[in-house]
A = this chain, B = another copy of it.
Amino acid sequence: MPYVNIQVTREGVTREQKAELIAGVTALLVRVLHKNPATTHVVIDEIDLDNWGVGGLPVAEFRKRQP
């Protein structure tokens, strides 16, 4: 009965990419842990860039400073 929550920045993830993530994570749980896909739920959260921080900075700012 797995539940998987995937959080990514909101940057134009397409419906096809979301379907690929759902299929891929479910297949992984079936393969590694022999889980039943029918009770495997995947929820994707898309997070606005202003709302994600890393290195103490909002993501956009953080990226600018990377070499």
> Residues of A at under 8 Å CB distance from B?
1-9, 13, 15, 17-29, 31-33, 35, 37-47, 50-59, 61
Contacts and interface: CB of A to CB of B under 8 A. Distances in A.
A66 to B, nearest CB: 10
Contacts of A37: 55-56
Given A21-B28, A43-B3, A15 B50 contact: yes
Contacts of A58: 15, 18-19, 22
B1 A54 contact: yes
Contact of A26 (B39, B43, B55): B55
28 contacts: A1-B41, A1-B52, A1-B54, A3-B6, A4-B6, A6-B29, A7-B43, A8-B29, A15-B50, A15-B58, A18-B50, A18-B51, A19-B53, A19-B58, A19-B61, A21-B28, A21-B29, A21-B32, A23-B53, A24-B28, A24-B31, A39-B39, A41-B54, A42-B52, A43-B52, A43-B53, A44-B52, A45-B51
